[in-house]
Structure 1
Amino acid sequence: MKLETIKVKRFKALYDVELKNLPKFAVFIGANGSGKTTLFDVFGFLRDCLNTNVRAALQRRGGYKEVVSRGCEDEGIFIELQFRMPIATVERLVTYSISIKLDDGRPVVAEERLKYKRAAYGSPFNFLNFRYGSGFAIENEEDFDRPDEELSREQQTLESADILAIKGLGQFQRFKAASAFRQLIEKWHLSDFHIHDARRTQEAGYAEHLSPNGENLALVAQFMYENHRDKFDLVLEKMKQRVPGVKEVEAVETEDGRIVLRFQDGSFKDPFISRYVSDGTIKMFAYLLLLHDPAPHPLLCIEEPENQLYPTLMIELAEEFRAYAERGGQVIVSTHSPDLLNRIALDEIYWLSKREGRTEIRRGSEDPQLVALVKEGDLPGSLWKQGAFPEVDPS
C-alpha cells in the first residue's frame, strides 16, 4: 500500500492543505513553527482515534477547541487520505475521509467514508458510509460482476458516535477495504525517539519491532540477532563503517534478569554498556535496526533525524531511507539538515511556510527558479541554506 494524497482542513494551522502524488520518500523542511510537527501529527491523530476514540485523541492534544483551526469550531476538522492497495488482484486507489464536528458540545464523527472505483470508469463507490454513529458497509465488495444495487449492505449502529467505523468493521475480513486501511494505520511507525529511553535496561522479554520512543531497543536487537542474523550482521557491518571504533554490539542478560545493550570498542579490552555510549552511536544503531526491519512498516515518519548525529552521516542515512522506501515502506522525514537535503531530489522536497497563522505547503519541483538552479548544478541543501526557498529562512 502507498499513500498518494493527503488532504487536511481546519486541523490546527493546517487550514486547507493538499499533497498530491506523494513520492515513496518525501522530505519536509521549514522554519520552526511552520507546521511540520502538525502535519506529522495528522497521522498520530488518526492512529489515536483508531486505538481509542475521537474524543480521547482530541483530549491528548488539549481538546477539540485546541485542535480545530481558530474560528472554525462549527465547520469542524476534515482529513482525507488516498492510498493504493490491491483488491481482487487489481491495484485500486482507495479514498478514506473523516469529518469531526461538535454535536451537543461533544466531538463526534460527523461523517466517515471509504470508497474506490469498482471498474476502470465511473465515480468511486462508497463501500463504507457512516454519519453520527450509524451507516452501512458493503460485505461482498469483491463481486465486481454484480451491479451496484445487488451489493449487500450491512447496516450498523456504533456504540458511540465518537468511534471510528473502521475500528469495529476493520476487524472483519469480509470488509476488505476497511480491514486493509485499519491494518495500514496500525502498522504506521511515527518515530518519537528518545535517547534516554533507548539507554534503559529492560526486563527480559520479546519485541520484534522498535517502539516509537525506542525504549525496547535492546529487546529488538536480541530478536534480530536470534531470528534474523543476516540482517543483524548487516546492521553491525554498517555500524562499523559509520561509527569509529565499534566492533561488536550485543544484547546481554544481566544477573537480575534485565536486557542491556553492550558495545565493544576495538580500542578497549572491556565493552561499554549503552549508558556510557555516545548519543549518536545509540541513535544510529536504532535507526539501522528500524530501517532493516524484516517486515517494513507501510509508513515511516521521522522528525529531524539529524539530532545527535554527525552531519556527514546524514548523507548515508538519506540513502538508507531511500532503500527502505524501495523495499516497500513509505518514508516521510522532516529535517533542518542541508547535508540530507543535498541527497534528495527536488521532486521529493516540500517546504512549509506560514501566512496569517496558516500553513502553506509547496513542492520543490513546482518552483521554476529552484528547478532552474538545480538544473544548473546547485544542490537543494545548499539552496535552502542560502535562502533560495521562498519564504523560508533556515537561519
Structure 2
Amino acid sequence: MQIEEIEIRNYRVFRHVRIRSVPRLCVLVGANGTGKSTLFDVFSFLKDALSMNVGKAIARRGGYRELASREHEEDPIELTLRFRMEIAGHSRMITYQLQIGLDASLRKPVVMREVLRYKRGSHGRPFHFLDFSNGSGYAITNEEDFNRPDEELDRDEQALDAPDILAIKGLGQFERFKAASAFRAMIENWHISDFHVSDARPSQEDGVAEHLSTRGDNLALVANHLYENHPECFARVLDAMHRRVPGVSIVEPEQTIDGRLVLRFQDGSFRDPFIARHVSDGTIRMFAYLVLLNDPQPYPLLAVEEPENQLYPELLPELAEEFRAYAQRGGQVFLSTHSPDFLNALTLDEIFCLRKENGFTTIRRASDSENLRALYDAGDLPGYLWKQRLFEGLN
C-alpha cells in the first residue's frame, strides 16, 4: 500500500498544499521554518487521532487555534490522502478525507466530515464506503459485492460515542469493512522517528522487543531479537556495518550476569570488543538505522528527519542507498535533509522543495524545474545544485 497523493488545508504553515505522484522515497528540502517538520507532524497527528481521539491529538499540539493556519483559526482543517490497495483482485485508488473544525456550542474540535471512497468500476464517480459527519454516518458492509448496483449495497448506520472520534477507529477493527480496516492498519503501523543517541546507548534490562521504538531506546533488545530470531536480517545489518563504517567488523548483543543486554562492537584493529557507551554517536546512529531498515516487517510508512545528523559526510550516500532499498522492499520513506552529500545520492524525482510564499508554504517537485532538469540531465548532482543555490526560491 503506497500513498500517492497528499493534500493539506489550513494546517499551520500549509494553507493549501498538494503533493502529487508521491514516490516510494520522498525527500524534503527547504530552509528552516518552511514546514518539513510540520509535514511529518501531519502523519503523527493522524496516528495520535486514531490511537486517542482528535481532541487529544489537537490538545497535544497546543489547541486548535495553534494548529490552524495563522489568521485562519476559525476555518476547518482538511487532510486528504490517496493511496492504492488491492480489493477483489484489482488495484484501486482510495481517498480518505478528514475535515476537522471548532464546534461553537461544544467549544471543542469535532470531526465535521470523514469520508473513505473509491471507484467500484472503471467508470463513474468514486463511491462513498464510509461517510460520517459530527459523530454519525454509515459504512458499507458488503463493499466487495461488485455484482450489485450501488443503491443495493448494505449500509450500516452508526453513531459514535463522541464527535471527535474517527470512524475508522471503530469500524476499522472489523474485517467486513475492507478499506477502513486496511487504512487503519496502515496508520497504526506508521513509524515517525524521533531517534536520540543518548536513549540508544544505555544497556537494558532483559526483555523482548521486535521493532525499534521511535526514540531508539530499545535498540539492544531489537538487535538481540534479530540476532536470535532473524539471523538473515542481522547478517544484513552486520554486512552493511562492515561495508559502511570503517573499522567495525562485528556487532553482537550480549547478556550480562545481572540480566542486562549490552551491544558489543568489535574493531578489527583491536583484540577485545567494546560496549556501546564507548562507540561514537555516528556509529550508534548508523547501526540503529540499519536495524530499523532491516526489520523483517517493513513499516508501511517510515519518516525520519535529517538522518545526516552526527554522520560522516562520506557515509550519507551509503545511507541513502539503504533507505532506497528499504522503500523498494515495500516500506514508503519520507525524509528531510539539509545535506548536499545526501542529496547527491538522489534523483530529482525523489526531491520535493518547500518554500515560503506570503507567509505560507508551497511544495514543488524538483524535477518540475526545467533549469534543474537540464542541469541534472547534463550530469550535475542534486547536492551540488543545492549548494550552488540553484534550487529556485529556496535560499
**Shorter chain as normaliser: what TM range?**
over 0.9
Counterpart for residue 124 of structure 1? 126
Counterpart for residue 47 of structure 1? 47
What is the TM-score of this pair, normalised by structure 2?
0.98
CA contact (8 A) 1:263 1:274 kept: yes
Counterpart for residue 24 of structure 1? 24
CA contact (8 A) 1:73 1:101 kept: no
How far, CA to CA, are the matches of 2:271 and 2:265 in structure 1? 11
1:267-319 per-residue CA deviation (whole Å, 9 max, x = no partner) reads 22332111111001001111111111111111111110000111011111111
How far, CA to CA, are the matches of 1:231 and 1:70 in structure 2? 47
Are 2:147 and 1:148 equivalent residues in the alignment?
no
Counterpart for residue 284 of structure 1? 286
Counterpart for residue 352 of structure 2? 350
Give the CA RMSD over aligned residues.
1.0
3-state SS of paired residue (2:313): coil
Matching residue's letter, 1:26: C
Matching residue's letter, 1:121: H
3-state SS of paired residue (2:117): strand
Matching residue's letter, 2:147: D
CA contact (8 A) 1:262 1:273 kept: yes
Are 2:377 and 1:375 equivalent residues in the alignment?
yes
Counterpart for residue 366 of structure 1? 368
How far, CA to CA, are the matches of 1:269 and 1:367 in structure 2? 54
CA contact (8 A) 1:84 1:94 kept: yes
3-state SS of paired residue (1:94): strand
1:51-80 per-residue CA deviation (whole Å, 9 max, x = no partner) reads 101111111111111101122222210000
How far, CA to CA, are the matches of 1:292 and 1:36 in structure 2? 25
How far, CA to CA, are the matches of 1:347 and 1:326 in structure 2? 15
CA contact (8 A) 1:291 1:321 kept: yes
How far, CA to CA, are the matches of 2:10 and 2:227 in structure 1? 46
Matching residue's letter, 2:41: D
Are 2:392 and 1:390 equivalent residues in the alignment?
yes
CA-CA distance at 1:378 after TM superposition: 1.1
How far, CA to CA, are the matches of 1:286 and 1:253 in structure 2? 19
- Runs of 4+ residues deviating >6 angstroms: none
CA-CA distance at 1:258 after TM superposition: 1.9
CA-CA distance at 1:364 after TM superposition: 0.8
Matches within 5 A, 1:66-77: 66-77=66-77
Matches within 5 A, 1:248-259: 248-259=250-261
Are 2:90 and 1:96 equivalent residues in the alignment?
no
For residue 316 of structure 2, the aligned residue among 314, 325, 336 is 314
CA-CA distance at 1:356 after TM superposition: 2.3
Identical-residue share of aligned pairs (%)? 60
Are 2:151 and 1:182 equivalent residues in the alignment?
no
Give ranges in structure 2 of 5+ residues lacking alignment: none
CA contact (8 A) 1:346 1:371 kept: yes
How far, CA to CA, are the matches of 2:366 and 2:48 in structure 1? 31
What is the TM-score of this pair, normalised by structure 1?
0.98
